[in-house]
Chain A
């Protein structure tokens, strides 16, 4: 079965420190996408970063970077210089093609990150 696993239900990090949120995935597809979303307490889902399965370099977006290790099937999110506003739920997601080439998206269960002043 295609699935996404986030093994850390909750994480704490000191303000200004870096933190890594773990995500492993399972798929037999060659072409797929990996995504991270942030959900603050206000409830909206915010797209953070994307990594394609064929991308050789790790994706970066500002303070966010995705540590993509294809052989290990992991796509960890690294947040550098944590800020209080980073406190939120973080979801890893995988998009793979269904039989028609359309998106089949699976979300992980999320990691709750709390940044400590």
Chain B
């Protein structure tokens, strides 16, 4: 089975540009998570979808960040406009259930550099 797929794997962009990160969860998984990882702040949950509906977006840093999940097999995380402090590795993860007793499977991550 294919794991969680993320694209692009690396993105370098200039400050002020729009960035769109993409994620395809594991087929059959109904929960999807976006995380951001930096040396300073570790792994932070940005937003969590269940059955394509955003459940918890309290981790989204500010209005520049938005996430969508139009269907069960695709999600996007958009940053507009991007800033250098957004540089990080962004992970998408999916889980087969909605409750706390389900493990998450991570994608390979997108390394974003904003110059």
A interface, CB within 8 angstroms of B: 29, 31-33, 35, 37, 43-47, 50, 52, 91, 95-98, 100-105, 107, 109-110
Asked whether any CB of chain A lies closer than 8 Å to the CB of B42, the reply is yes
Bound Cα distance from A52 to B97, whole angstroms: 14
B100 contacts across to A, CB distance below 8 A: 29, 31-33, 95-97, 103-104
Q: A31-B100, A45-B93, A102-B99 are in contact. List 9 more A-B contacts (CB 8 A).
A: A43-B111, A44-B106, A103-B98, A103-B100, A103-B102, A105-B33, A105-B45, A107-B42, A110-B42
Bound Cα distance from A43 to B43, whole angstroms: 12
Task: Let me know if B42 and A102 touch, CB within 8 A.
Answer: no
Q: Which of B57-115 contact A (CB under 8 A)?
A: 89, 91, 93, 95, 98-109, 111
A78 to chain B, nearest CB (A): 18
B103 contacts across to A, CB distance below 8 A: 33, 35, 47, 50
B47 to chain A, nearest CB (A): 12
Known: A31-B101, A33-B102, A91-B43. A100 touches B108 (CB 8 A): no
Task: Let me know if A104 and B91 touch, CB within 8 A.
Answer: no
Interface centre among B31, B95, B101, B102, by most chain A C-beta atoms within 10 angstroms, is: B101
Known: A100-B55, A103-B100. A44 touches B108 (CB 8 A): yes
Closest to A94 in B: B100
B55 contacts across to A, CB distance below 8 A: 98, 100, 102
Closest to B50 in A: A102
Asked whether any CB of chain A lies closer than 8 Å to the CB of B56, the reply is yes
A29 contacts across to B, CB distance below 8 A: 100
The listed residue (B42, B48, B89, B105) touching A103 by CB distance below 8 A is B48
A97 contacts across to B, CB distance below 8 A: 99-100
Counting from the closest, the 3 A-B pairs by CB-CB distance are A45-B106, A95-B100, A107-B43
A43 contacts across to B, CB distance below 8 A: 89, 108-109, 111
